[in-house]
Amino acid sequence: MAVRHQLIRRPPHAVWDVLADPTRYGEWVVGPSESTPLDRSWPEVGSRLRYTVRLGPWATDGTTTVRHAVSGRELELEAAVKALGTARIFLQLRPWGEETLVVCDEHPLRGLGGALHNSVSEAALQLRHRGMLARLARVVEQDRTRSRHA
């Protein structure tokens, strides 16, 4: 089970605003390029979005479904990519003074990812999380810069 954290220099509501926008999924998640909401109710439980994952010449579609959400505090997702299987991603937002500590916990559930889960794939998840949480921090913190100039 890969668990990682990132301090984001913005309050939890600012982080949640990015997580709650399904069109921004590809901006902070490592792998997907563009994302399209399949339901208008994102991030309510059961809502979904579709995205494309590209790796060199290879591309495939995936979907992510919200499995649990507590507005402004927790978002649990099930990501499914046909070729790889499914994974559970749990994001928790913890107030840290005026900032937010984001804790990400991910593990494979079904399919190839679950069958091949081992210490090597766990290390790859840690690297993915490092990139994903850094991207999330950059997106959220840039929103503050944009809002100052708007």
- pLDDT score for 56: 78
Report the CATH number at residue 74: 3.30.530.20
What is residue 38's DSSP assignment?
S
Block residue for tokens 């590209």: 54
Provide the pLDDT confidence category of residue 149 given band limits of 50, 70 and 90. Answer: very low
- How many whole angstroms separate alpha carbon 22 and alpha carbon 3? 23
Number of structural domains found in the chain:
1
- pLDDT score for 120: 56
Work out the widest C-alpha separation in the chain, in whole angstroms.
Answer: 49
Q: What is the domain range of residue 50?
A: 2-149
* Token couple for 51: 């995205």
pLDDT tens digits for range 37-76: 999 899 999 999 998 887 778 888 889 999 999 999 999 9
SS3 state of residue 141 = helix
Residues sharing a CB contact under 8 Å with residue 119, sequence separation 6 or more, in sequence order: none
Provide the pLDDT confidence category of residue 21 given band limits of 50, 70 and 90. Answer: very high
**What's the pTM value of the predicted model, to 2 decimals?**
0.83
